[in-house]
């Protein structure tokens, strides 16, 4: 398991685009030769990955949006998994 680096300011990889598909009514990550359909609040998390916010700031923002959700535990793990896929830098 990867541990989120303190001070990391996640951003989508250069070859990755976050889009909302109105036909599918779904948020998508568009990658070279691949499309990933996002579920749950994944797009909400990834929209905050702008290269300016630290992981702690993303967690703080989402904690305010989703009170009572296990944001502090789940978001850093999610970001690590997405980074391991190569979709975040």
24-56 residue pLDDT tens: 999 999 999 999 999 999 999 999 999 999 999
**Cα–Cα separations (whole angstroms), residue 34 to 3, 25, 30:** 27, 18, 6
Q: Binning pLDDT at 50, 70 and 90, where does residue 5 land? A: low
Q: Binning pLDDT at 50, 70 and 90, where does residue 7 land? A: confident
pTM passes above 0.95: no
E-strand stretches of 24-63? 26-31, 34-37
Left if phi > 0, otherwise alpha if psi is -120 to 50, otherwise beta: which for 62? alpha
Report, as an integer, the average pLDDT of 71-87. 97
Q: Is the pLDDT reported for residue 79 higher than 60?
A: yes
Name residue 19's beta-bridge partners. Answer: 28
65-78 residue pLDDT tens: 999 999 999 999 99
């Amino acid at each position: 398991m990867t541990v989120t680096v303190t001070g990391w300011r996640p951003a989508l990889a250069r070859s990755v685009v976050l889009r909302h598909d109105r036909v599918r009514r779904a948020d998508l990550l568009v990658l070279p030769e691949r499309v990933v359909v996002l579920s749950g609040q994944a797009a909400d998390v990834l929209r905050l990955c702008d290269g300016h916010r630290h992981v702690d700031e993303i967690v703080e923002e989402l904690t305010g949006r989703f009170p009572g959700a296990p944001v502090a535990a789940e978001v850093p793990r999610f970001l690590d998994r997405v980074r391991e896929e190569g979709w975040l830098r």
